[in-house]
Structure 1
Amino acid sequence: MSRHQGNDKRNPGSGRQGGYKKTSHSRGNAPVRSNSSGFSRNENKSAQPKAKPASDDIRLNRYISNSGMCSRREADIYIQSGNVMVNGEVVTEMGYRVKPGDVVKFDGATITPEKKVYVLLNKPKNFSTSADGVRSNENVLSLVKNASKSQLQPVGRMDKTTTGLLLFTNDTELITKFSSPNQRSSKLYHVSLDKNLKFEDLEKVKNGLYIDDHKIFVEEIDYIENEAKSEIGVKMKTANVKIVRKIFEELDYNVIKLDRVTFAGLTKKNLPRGNWRFLTEQEIINLKNI
């Protein structure tokens, strides 16, 4: 096989009949056929189907996404705009595949893909998710710093006083997905109020409340069994804990404690406060399929 075969975009059968060439010997004007088919047997061995991409090749947009720069969809825009180079040449082709050893530059910076890491933390009180205090010991990132050398980010935000489940990852696509207002995964919150929640107020929340000219709906709301009427369970789609607080503040209740009990099918089972764990393969698959 020619060393260029597989990379040559020309028709491998051009200038040939059926992809194989006839023998060069002739008798008068009629070609001499070396076998009954009229083609050389040795030529059969040289014609191979176009090589498939190697299993370790990766689409350029995924390579960029795996490097943590942006999502695959955003990477397509950068590629089309001519902001991505492979081995010193600008690549604008959609579907271009990066091979092992290729040097990829994104906006002038050399990038490398990272293994995706997914960490679930049971966040304690008095730790912030604010990007302003990333290096602070009071930032949630200080709690998961030993989980990975990769730069992890929290999925969503929590104020200092809110506790419970918080997911971290370097998977920018997953972060973008769960940051979308259209994200439809359920979260369960345990809310502790400064006084008992009146039944009529519980019904108001169940039927939907207007907050800042937007009607807010919950999936479920109820008193927590065997607890005081100030202990409420609220199930909602939103990952914005501020909305949960505002619901009760709108009805003149103060939220004393707010704890996220479940997040997109993940639970606090066997995960004490302040501890973290890696997600299982099945949990990762479930998150991506939501």
Structure 2
Amino acid sequence: MSRQDNQSRGKASGRGSNNQRNRSSARGNAPVKSEFKSKKTSRQADPATKPKLRFDKNGKEIGRREKPVKEVKRSNPEDGIRLNKYIANSGVCSRREADTFIATGLVSVNGKIVNEMGYKVQLTDDVRFDGRRLNPEPNTFVLLNKPKGFATTDSNSKGMTVMDLVANATTAKIKPFGRLGRNATGLLLFTNDDEFVQKFTKKGIPRLFHIELDKNLKAEHLKKIKDGMTVDGKEISVDEISYVDNAPKSEVGLKIKHTGNSVIRTIFEHLGYDVVRVDCVTLGPLTKKDLPRGRWRTLTDKELNMFSML
């Protein structure tokens, strides 16, 4: 830097009266900005520029549109389900294909052919496709270890029923398959699968009962039951019968395929015995293992597959 430059620093510029020459801010001499100095952004509104709110005489704000509240229309189960949706939910086909089947007369409701598009049905209706009854709910199977004092029925006029015990098991419309007397105990199956019910009502499911009689069962009567007997003109056959190990002769194990419960009393009362206790120990491939009295559980896919081998 020249001497002349040093001498001229701080002197008057000559363009005005006593104006001091200041340092230029160019070429890196700009003042350092404070890091803590807040910046105004376009998102921060200036309070002075905010529009003032105005209200009418009723106290309602003026100048702001309120979005209309949409009323949510809830479906009423009593209104029913569209027939094509009912068919689609049953797994037969899609809704569009169901419309075609309805139009061609392949669908009936409660025994009558329905061709009307948009027709609504209830879950309790008998809907059939090509003669086969449909079920819009997934097939559900519940196993109960029944205690004493509960009637095997879905009627509400019988006092305490087995339906009270499985009320929280599922939302599906299940019903008991097979019967156990009010004072009988043991395994009882519930399902909404009509095909399963029809199949095993016809062929039966083997059930093993632990039966206690009022007196010892004679060996000759044991053999008679094993060989088959006729009561009131009806033939009754059992799969197996034997005395219970390490128990009095009044206790026997009886395996039979009948889905009813009265046949057991029919057999022994015909021979002069009173039945004191009946307990269903096994039902097809199912047992009472890890299922306390009065409790229920849903069947696994593996257990359902075992029924196909019966």
If the TM-score is normalised by the length of the shorter chain, which range does it land in? 0.5 to 0.7
Task: Name the CA shift for 1:185/1:81 in 2 (closer, same or farther; >3 Å).
Answer: closer
Aligned with residue 153 of structure 1, among 149, 172, 175: 175
- Pairwise CA RMSD of aligned residues? 3.2
Bigger CA radius of gyration? 2
C-alpha separation in 1, matches of 2:117 and 2:107: 20
C-alpha separation in 1, matches of 2:191 and 2:270: 34
The equivalent residue for 2:43 is none
The equivalent residue for 2:40 is none
Task: Name the CA shift for 1:198/1:105 in 2 (closer, same or farther; >3 Å).
Answer: closer
Q: Please tell me whether residue 238 in structure 1 is matched to residue 258 in structure 2.
A: yes
The equivalent residue for 2:244 is 224
C-alpha separation in 1, matches of 2:166 and 2:195: 20
More RCO (CA 8 Å, sep 6+): 1
Task: Name the CA shift for 1:112/1:223 in 2 (closer, same or farther; >3 Å).
Answer: closer
State how 1:48-59 maps to structure 2 within 5 Å.
none
Q: Please tell me whether residue 253 in structure 1 is matched to residue 268 in structure 2.
A: no
Normalised TM-score (structure 1): 0.63
Q: CA deviation at 1:133?
A: 2.8
Structure 1 residue runs without a partner (length 5+): 1-56, 66-75, 90-102
Task: Name the CA shift for 1:239/1:77 in 2 (closer, same or farther; >3 Å).
Answer: farther
C-alpha separation in 1, matches of 2:208 and 2:140: 24
The equivalent residue for 1:44 is none
Q: Is the 8 A contact 1:86 1:105 kept in 2?
A: no
Q: What's the secondary structure of 2:225's corresponding residue?
A: helix
Q: Is the 8 A contact 1:174 1:288 kept in 2?
A: no
Q: CA deviation at 1:105?
A: 7.7
Aligned with residue 63 of structure 1, among 78, 83, 90: 90
Q: CA deviation at 1:175?
A: 2.1
Q: How many residues align?
A: 207
Task: Name the CA shift for 1:151/1:234 in 2 (closer, same or farther; >3 Å).
Answer: same
The equivalent residue for 2:118 is 88
User: What one-letter code is carried by the residue in structure 1 that aligns with 2:175?
Assistant: Q
C-alpha separation in 1, matches of 2:201 and 2:289: 24
Task: Name the CA shift for 1:249/1:153 in 2 (closer, same or farther; >3 Å).
Answer: same
Task: Name the CA shift for 1:149/1:204 in 2 (closer, same or farther; >3 Å).
Answer: same
C-alpha separation in 1, matches of 2:144 and 2:157: 16
Task: Name the CA shift for 1:77/1:140 in 2 (closer, same or farther; >3 Å).
Answer: same
Task: Name the CA shift for 1:108/1:173 in 2 (closer, same or farther; >3 Å).
Answer: closer
State how 1:111-150 maps to structure 2 within 5 Å.
113-133=136-156, 136=159, 138-150=160-172
Task: Name the CA shift for 1:87/1:168 in 2 (closer, same or farther; >3 Å).
Answer: same
Q: CA deviation at 1:104?
A: 6.9
Identity %: 41
Q: Show CA shifts across 1:195-245 (max 9, x none).
A: 000111111111111112012111111000000000100111112111011
Q: Is the 8 A contact 1:156 1:178 kept in 2?
A: no
Task: Name the CA shift for 1:147/1:205 in 2 (closer, same or farther; >3 Å).
Answer: same
C-alpha separation in 2, matches of 1:195 and 1:162: 18
The equivalent residue for 1:22 is none
Q: Is the 8 A contact 2:214 2:276 kept in 1?
A: yes
Q: CA deviation at 1:113?
A: 1.4
Q: Please tell me whether residue 267 in structure 1 is matched to residue 283 in structure 2.
A: no
> Displaced runs of 4+ in structure 1, greater than 4 A?
57-62, 79-82, 103-109
Q: Is the 8 A contact 2:151 2:161 kept in 1?
A: yes
Structure 2 residue runs without a partner (length 5+): 1-83, 93-105, 128-133
Q: Is the 8 A contact 1:165 1:263 kept in 2?
A: yes
User: What one-letter code is carried by the residue in structure 2 that aligns with 1:205?
Assistant: I
